[in-house]
Amino acid sequence: MHMRLAYLLFVSLPLLPCLPPGQGELAIRSATAKSMERQGLVDITSVDSTLRVSLMYGRSDNFTGRILYADLREAYLHPKAAKALARAQSLLRERRPDLSLVVYDAARPMSVQQVMWNAVAGTDKSIYVSNPRNGGGMHNYGLAVDLTLCDAATGDTLDMGTHIDYMGRAAHITDEELLVRQGTISAEALRNRLLLRSVMREAGFMPLKTEWWHFNLVSRAVARKYYKAIR
């Protein structure tokens, strides 16, 4: 009976909306996790154990409709990006002790990027996904992170206007006040987006105009010149 209960708990973990802080430290490292570490990336919870992780590509409720991280539960980043993310978490907790950052995607192997590109190639959604043939995007260097805000105690995410992975104008950050006036997103969602951008910018990240949840540590040109893409 105890073994069956343990099994049920184990298989249900990837479906949880948000893993508790430090959960990745308790798990046995998978082949993908070990590969990330060999390439010099770090588990973000090893830098700040209060960071929450809920990898959206470890579930099927993403724009591809597929599980892309079959054996990965931890979020990895280049050490510089992980340190900056920990700084953002610290800034957030200073301003809002009741909130936490929750990471939905971080370092991403180029093989996964290819699957994503294949899902949008030839469609009007292709502007939202970097083409691996052109070197991919900042996720493929461990220098970008997709994240949102959540309740620090429960892990419940805040209203941001759209879900992460939404491909459309409502996710853009360029005309947010207009989106509020039109009723496309709420005033509360805009306040939450501004708070997220504030702490991320102060920590050294740059927002992406088309995705409120996406932040890069460096430019594409800098990444390609000084960093290696993740295999």
* Residues classed as catalytic: 211
Pairing of strands 144-151, 99-105: antiparallel
Determine which helix (DSSP H) or strand (DSSP E) holds 100, and give its type and residue range: strand 99-105
Query: At residue 105, what are phi and psi to the nearest 5 degrees?
Result: -165, 150
Is residue 161 within 8 Å of 189, Cβ to Cβ? yes
Measured distance CA(79)–CA(56) in Å, rounded: 22
Measuring CA to CA, which residue among 71, 21, 13, 10 is closest to residue 46?
A: 21
Q: What is the dihedral of CA 170, 63, 215, 97, to 10 degrees?
A: 80
Is residue 227 within 8 Å of 143, Cβ to Cβ? yes
Measuring CA to CA, which residue among 47, 127, 37, 89 is closest to residue 205?
A: 89
Burial of 14: CB neighbours in 10 Å, binned 0-12, 13-18, 19+: middle
Determine which helix (DSSP H) or strand (DSSP E) holds 161, and give its type and residue range: none
